[in-house]
Amino acid sequence: TIWTKKPIDCVIDGLNIAYRTSTGFNWIKQQLTEDVSRTYRVPKVENQSHTLINTIIRGNMLQQFKKILVVGKAHMLKWPGLMDFFRKNNIRFYSSFNNSKDDLFQLYASTLSPKTVLVTNDFLRDHLATLDESARTQLERWIDTHQAWICQKTLKPIWPTPYEKIASVDRERNCFHLPVIDFDQLETVGVTDPPPHLNSKALTWLCCRTANKVSE
């Protein structure tokens, strides 16, 4: 009910942003069976909290958006300083169960208004894979103009362009424009960089027009 009364200006994937852009890790050992265990690293809780707060501040989101919703998991309620920051800045927080899929809540809240921006570094591949071709194309076009990506080094957002990166016709100039991925530049794009449609290193435009006739 917190997002159905008025459209949300900005929806933030809290856990994704805090986890994907954090530095400083703890090593966690998980005992799977009596003889089998695995060790993996996770960001320190205090680092995740600071990362999420700094992302909102450095991105000027408090000045840019009147109504911000952060979607996360229940264990984030215990992160140091996070809930105090949300209360002081009138940021709504929706917590789902720790074992739930919070992506669905984010997509739902983000699509209630055509002007809502979704801040996440998630490629949303799992959701795209479950859709048929028509629905997948619609979601890809929505992502292209509504998803903001957070730079891992600066914690500043790369905002989406308000226009779709699809082939378009310019009738006044008698030409058409094609968005093109420069595959020669894809090698310079790291795994933590934004996807090609938000990455200026990989995305370019090809503008074509009818050649002028040569007078005899």
- Which pLDDT tens digits describe the chain residue by residue (216 residues)? 445 556 799 999 999 998 877 665 454 555 566 666 666 556 677 788 989 999 999 999 999 999 999 999 998 999 999 999 999 999 999 988 777 677 888 888 998 888 999 999 988 888 888 889 899 888 888 888 899 988 888 888 888 876 666 777 888 878 888 777 666 655 555 555 666 555 555 567 778 887 665 444
How far is residue 65 from each of residues 42, 90, 124, 146, 147, measured CA to CA in Å? Answer: 31, 11, 24, 14, 15
CA atoms within 13 Å, Cβ hemisphere of 169: 3
Q: Phi and psi at residue 69, in whole multiples of 5°?
A: -120, 125
Give residues with Cβ within 8 angstroms of 103, minimum separation 6.
13, 122, 124, 126, 127
DSSP of 69-111, one letter per residue? EEEEEGGGGGSTTHHHHHHHTT-EEEEE-TTS-THHHHHHHHT
d(CA 28, CA 9): 37
At residue 198, the pLDDT reads: 58
At residue 215, the pLDDT reads: 47
Beta strand 203-209 with 175-181: parallel, antiparallel or unpaired?
antiparallel
Q: Specify the DSSP element, H or E, that contains 65.
A: none
Give residues with Cβ within 8 angstroms of 32, minimum separation 6.
38
3 state DSSP class of 198: helix
Q: Which two tokens stand for residue 68?
A: 């911000």
pTM of structure: 0.72
Is the separation of the CB atoms in 1 and 25 below 8 Å? no
At residue 216, the pLDDT reads: 45
